[in-house]
Amino acid sequence: MEKVIGIGNALTDILINLPSDEILKRFGLPKGSMSLVDADLQRKISESTADLPRTLSLGGSAGNTIRAMARLGAQVGFVGKVGNDTTGDFFEKALENLGVKPTILRGTLHSGRCVSLVSGDGERTMATYLGAALEMKGGEIAPSVFEGFDCLYIEGYLVQDHDLIRTAVATARRCGMKVAIDLASFNIVEENLDFLRGLVQEYVDILFANEEEARAFTGEVKPLRALEVISRACELTVVKVGIKGAYIKRQGGEVIHVGILTAANRVDTTGAGDFYAGGFLAGLCQGLTLRQCGTIGAIAAGKVIEVIGTTFGEETWTEILRLVHKVKTEKYLF
């Protein structure tokens, strides 16, 4: 595996720091979840938090992963749909500036936005208006989109459109590609359980999940048991267990445990899972060991939770690349 193309919701993130979780309760948003909302509800949430500090950044789960991979030196592309508006123009240009090959489709609705509500403990709850992203259809995913790539990375949030995902993975398979997926959110898994189980059994080679997502997918309470169940279907499985790190298992192989990079200041967990997948896949693209891949994933995730949003400066990227170089020389593993 050398070149990865991601497919996902092309979104702009609006990150809002909450003084308490009262807003979550008011609008019935389960803490730590991603809920799809209409434009009216998103507007009401924005109005209710108008006096709170906020940050804008390029977002979307797969978009975050692909952008992280690009910064880590991987050859990547991205497929998504935006509106015919300045937000959509910004999204496409930002990908190009990062060296990501963009396949950006244009829809009739406004570009999608994700309001990410950040609690005091750093946990984020997302209220997402997909807008034009929702207009992306399976018929637009032609084999030519995947030309030059050997792995398709799918964000779990996209699986609510079953036809789109079936078309994408079937097309990828016909193109001789591997398929990777991040389960993304426990409530998405619960709502699409039968579809996801069938998808994983038939198409998925690499799967990422956190504890809650793995439990929802398998019905197994213990992460190691869930890992074992998933690994029967997938070539490679990663189950992240918070501050305990992650368990990694190749089908038929032994379990590898990799710890975390302790964050100097845990500010916002937005994008942590996305950046973990980005670091891990970037390592795979470079032919590194699973322990090295897991360590790079932990480094990327550990750094992104130190900032609001998923964008940080060149100084932080310089530090990340320094640590990644140590990992490649096997002088920095945990």
Look at residues 190, 198, 210 and name the one whose alpha carbon lies nearest to residue 165: 198
> Is residue 177, in this structure, part of any structural domain at all?
yes
Tell me: pLDDT of 185 over 80: yes
> Is residue 22, in this structure, part of any structural domain at all?
no
Tell me: pLDDT of 309 over 70: no
> Is residue 235, in this structure, part of any structural domain at all?
yes
> Is residue 30, in this structure, part of any structural domain at all?
no
For residue 24, the tally of other CB atoms under 10 A from its CB is 20
pLDDT digits (tens, 9 = 90+) for 63-76: 999 999 999 999 99
Least reliable range by pLDDT among 55-59, 78-82, 267-271: 267-271
Are 149 and 3 contacting, i.e. CB atoms less than 8 angstroms apart?
yes
pLDDT digits (tens, 9 = 90+) for 98-135: 999 999 999 999 999 889 999 988 888 989 898 999 99
Measure CA 313 to chain center.
20
For residue 196, the tally of other CB atoms under 10 A from its CB is 24
Look at residues 237, 123, 116 and name the one whose alpha carbon lies nearest to residue 182: 237
Angle between helix 272-285 and helix 61-71 axes, rounded to 10 deg: 40
Strand partners, 54: 16
pLDDT digits (tens, 9 = 90+) for 212-224: 999 999 999 999 9
Least reliable range by pLDDT among 80-89, 238-247, 268-277: 268-277
pLDDT tier for residue 238 given thresholds of 50, 70 and 90: very high
Give the mean pLDDT of 169-178.
97
pLDDT tier for residue 232 given thresholds of 50, 70 and 90: very high
- How are beta strands 75-83 and 178-182 bridged, if at all? unpaired
pLDDT digits (tens, 9 = 90+) for 152-162: 999 998 988 99
- The DSSP symbol for 194 reads H
Look up the CATH number of the domain holding residue 176.
3.40.1190.20
Number of domains, the chain: 1
> Is residue 211, in this structure, part of any structural domain at all?
yes
Tell me: pLDDT of 326 over 90: yes
- Domain that includes residue 183, residue range: 3-12+59-109+130-328
For the chain, give the longest Cα–Cα distance: 53
- Can you spell out the DSSP letters for 150-181? SEEEEEGGGGGSHHHHHHHHHHHHHTT-EEEE
Give the mean pLDDT of 261-278.
82
> Is residue 290, in this structure, part of any structural domain at all?
yes
Tell me: pLDDT of 301 over 90: yes
- Can you spell out the DSSP letters for 62-82? HHHHHHHHHHTT-EEEEEEEE
pTM value is 0.88
Tell me: pLDDT of 15 over 90: no
**Amino acid 57: pLDDT:** 79
Tell me: pLDDT of 27 over 90: yes
> Is residue 46, in this structure, part of any structural domain at all?
no
Q: What is the residue-averaged pLDDT of the chain?
A: 93
The Cα 129–Cα 110 span in angstroms is 10
- Residue 4 contacts by C-beta under 8 Å, 6 or more apart in sequence? 66, 69, 74, 75, 76, 77, 149, 150, 151, 152, 153, 180, 281, 285
Angle in degrees, CA 216, 217, 222, rounded to 5: 70
> Is residue 31, in this structure, part of any structural domain at all?
no
Residue with tokens 């398709």: 152
**Amino acid 268: pLDDT:** 64
Tell me: pLDDT of 305 over 90: no
